[in-house]
Structure 1
Amino acid sequence: MTAPLEPVPDAGKVRPVVAAPDPVLSRPGDRVDPADPETVALAADLIATMRVSPGCVGLAAPQIGVGAHVFVVDVTGHPRAKTCHGTVVLCNAEIVEATRWQKGREGCMSVPDLTGDVKRAGHLVVRGTLPGSGEELTLTTDAFEARAFQHEIDHCAGLLFLDRVPGPNAIFARKVYL
């Protein structure tokens, strides 16, 4: 595991998560100014909302009703994580390199009743900017963390994991554990 990055402070507000078919989830988010105080506050809200959501390892601005290209990922402690950069918030992120494609099961807070098999890169290089400082960050990751980054970047592009499944035979009812 790699050392965690310094996160945006956890002073944000917990916001409601929107569910499909809310139209904000199917529209590409706007690029943002990472230094804008509204972007910094949005990043803090994403962290706060993710932290109170059991099992959540990532959250994008469209999922809290904001059409912006900002997301947070943190796979710390997840059993499927091989590489972990800690809490990472990125603005205007893009995939620079994607290799080693593999199928895996995904779920989403915005699609609470379903999971699906999605083919994603197992090795990923992502570039984006950090909220607040506007510093550009390029990170290399793999396995579960790579999947989480791709999932959140898709949200910022107006895509749900359901848009990536190969067909209805790859969609499943979410198991409920009591």
Structure 2
Amino acid sequence: MITMKDILREGDPILNQVAEAVELPPTEEEKNTLAEMLQFLKNSQDEELANAYQLRAGVGLAAPQIGISKRMIAVHFQDFEETQYSYGLFNPKIVSHSVALSYLAGGEGCLSVDREVPGYVPRYQRITVKATDLNGEELKLKLKGYAAIVFQHEIDHLNGVMFYDRINSEAPFTVPENSKAIE
């Protein structure tokens, strides 16, 4: 079972590396790791389990965050329209995106960052992601709003980018041009 002690914190060099593609079909070990990542997110959102194991609630986790420099992410959350997203994905890739941007009005957080980092993180309002799921199925997901932000945050981890790298360091609360706040 993955717990908070397994999650690398900012400053670890793996978090700043570009992760390697997973050769398909994935190995049993890669599938098991990705399934465990997804289970961690589910556990972290279960109040009883989160308290018992001192888990911080998370909506996404990328393999580099547990010390594995491979292109794998897990997401488990509901967007603001109550659509459920629960995926373990190999080699997720943004294949198209909007020109328009969005950002979370309350800022972003990260399981690998134990401090609050104030500021707006500009993201694409809409994205299309291609990936392979845990069952070996190729997926094409059209995402917008909060869902698009979560996926971009996790895919950034695969490219060695932390969310705060995208914040305007001189004026963190400058509203990005051509953007919409997600409340």
Which ranges in structure 1 are unaligned for 5 or more consecutive residues? 1-12, 172-178
- The residue correspondences of 1:137-176 to structure 2 (distance < 5 A) are 137-170=139-172
Judged with a 3 Å threshold, the aligned counterparts in structure 2 of structure 1 residues 66 and 168 are, in CA distance, closer, same or farther, namely farther
After superposing on structure 2, the runs of 4+ consecutive aligned residues of structure 1 that deviate more than 2 Å are 51-55, 81-86
Residue identity in the other structure for 1:160: M
CA distance in 1 between counterparts of 2:74 and 2:110 reads 14
Q: Quote the residue 1:121 is aligned against.
A: 124
Q: Deviations along 1:5-34, whole A, 9 cap, x unmatched?
A: xxxxxxxx2141110101110001111134
Judged with a 3 Å threshold, the aligned counterparts in structure 2 of structure 1 residues 84 and 29 are, in CA distance, closer, same or farther, namely farther
SS of the equivalent of 2:90 reads: strand
Higher helix share goes to which structure? Answer: 2
Q: Quote the residue 2:96 is aligned against.
A: 97
Judged with a 3 Å threshold, the aligned counterparts in structure 2 of structure 1 residues 167 and 136 are, in CA distance, closer, same or farther, namely same
CA shift for structure 1 position 83: 6.6
Q: Quote the residue 1:176 is aligned against.
A: none
Structure 1 vs Structure 2 CA RMSD:
1.8
Residue 19 (1) aligns with residue 22 (2): no
Q: Quote the residue 1:9 is aligned against.
A: none
Query: Share of identical aligned residues, percent?
Result: 32
How many residue pairs get matched? Answer: 155
CA shift for structure 1 position 49: 2.1
Give the greater-gyration-radius structure (CA): 2
- The residue correspondences of 1:43-82 to structure 2 (distance < 5 A) are 43-53=34-44, 54-76=56-78, 81-82=80-81
Higher mean C-alpha deviation, range 152-161 or range 31-40: 31-40
CA distance in 2 between counterparts of 1:39 and 1:120 reads 29
**Does the 8 A contact of 1:101 with 1:122 survive in 2?**
yes
Q: Quote the residue 1:37 is aligned against.
A: 28
TM-score (norm 1): 0.79
Which ranges in structure 2 are unaligned for 5 or more consecutive residues? 45-55, 174-183
Q: Deviations along 1:14-66, whole A, 9 cap, x unmatched?
A: 14111010111000111113431111011112112222334311010011111
Higher strand share goes to which structure? Answer: 1
TM-score (norm 2): 0.77
CA distance in 2 between counterparts of 1:45 and 1:154 reads 20
Q: Deviations along 1:134-169, whole A, 9 cap, x unmatched?
A: 221001111111100000000011110011112154
